[in-house]
Amino acid sequence: MSTKKINSEQGHWLLAKMGKRVLRPGGRKLTETLIQNLEITSKDSIVEFAPGMGYTAQLILNKRPLQYSGIELNEEAAQRLQQHINTPSQKIFNTSAAQTGLEQLSQTKVIGEAMLSMQVDARKSEIIQEAYRILKPEGLYGIHELGLKPENISENSKREVQQNLAKAIHVNARPLTKEEWCQLLQKEGFKIKSIQESPMDLLKLKRIIEDEGFWRTLKIMFNIFTHPKAKEKILIMKNTFKKYESHLTSFAIVAEK
Ligand SMILES: C[S@@+](CC[C@H](N)C(=O)[O-])C[C@H]1O[C@@H](n2cnc3c(N)ncnc32)[C@H](O)[C@@H]1O
């Protein structure tokens, strides 16, 4: 699939087109917890994998880190970000998080949200290995990703959730259980420092207001109701999330090199 133009067939870009800025499963609050747990200071060189619409980038930049690098695969999204983030100490690179081109042992923190979930397992590992390679010893890697529950979910249910999610959001979403996410990080050498869980309420009205604020929510609703094709696709997404509500969740994990 081309990563040049934003493909609004994909659930996250469709929502972005409707005005949504928070595109991660645990919402703004889980992002804020993750950022708090990463303890970002003005001494940090921090890399964000997949900044997307730049929402978390702004939260990070508010902490005035020494250096910020955003690694965004999609060319159009990267170009949009570059319009606001482009100084010697704040850069956006249009490349894959699996191959950032950054120097090894050069970073103190890495953060990535809602981007590992959309990779096959081998690619997830490549991206985690890249985070490990660029981090200094004791550096922190924070992720915020789509989760599956309960821990002992059957293989059949897992497959059903993954297949139906993929159909609804037009992205090969492959969420994992808490233990599976932890094992994936540990396999590449990370130690787990903290784990937070939050419901996967991305398209519930209460969460949209929490994430986007009242006026932006009104704007998003207006956009959805005046774009019938988008509305139909978003309703399919919402119904799929509802159908698998008992199996879907989100995790924010901080791991240490
Ligand atoms: C669901 S959006 C999440 C965006 C943002 N992190 C957020 O939480 O709002 C997924 C993003 O991951 C980016 N992406 C997917 N694979 C990537 C990769 N291998 N390297 C860098 N970015 C990637 C996509 O272009 C898109 O911006």
Query: From the CA of 74, how far away is ligand 1's center (Å)?
Result: 8
Distance CA 6, CA 170 (A): 13
In the chain, % of residues over pLDDT 90:
93
Torsion angle defined by CA atoms of residues 150, 171, 32 and 77, in that order, rounded to the nearest 10 degrees: 170
pLDDT in tens, 38-66: 999 999 999 999 999 999 999 999 999 99
For ligand 1, whether the C-beta of 255 sits within 6 Å is: no
Residue-wise pLDDT for 96-131, tens only, equals 999 999 999 999 999 999 999 999 989 999 999 999
CB distance 161 to ligand 1 below 6 Å:
no
pTM over 0.75: yes
CATH number of 23-155+172-201+247-256: 3.40.50.150
CA distance 238 to 245: 10
Tokens representing residue 75 in the block: 């060319």
- Which helix or strand (DSSP H or E) is residue 255 part of? strand 248-256
Helix axes 27-38, 205-212, angle to 10 degrees: 50
**Does the pLDDT of residue 1 top 60, yes or no?**
no
Q: Of the residues 73, 113, 146, 208, which should be mutated to test ligand 1's pocket, given the most ligand atoms within 8 Å of the CB?
A: 73
Q: Which of 115, 117, 241 to mutate to test the pocket of ligand 1 (most atoms within 8 A of CB)?
A: 115
User: Tens digit of pLDDT for each residue in 156-210?
Assistant: 999 999 999 999 998 888 999 999 999 999 999 999 999 999 999 999 999 999 9
For residue 134, give the nearest of 172, 93, 175, 174 by alpha carbon: 93
- pLDDT recorded at residue 4: 74
Write down the pLDDT at residue 173. Answer: 85
CA distance 77 to 52: 6
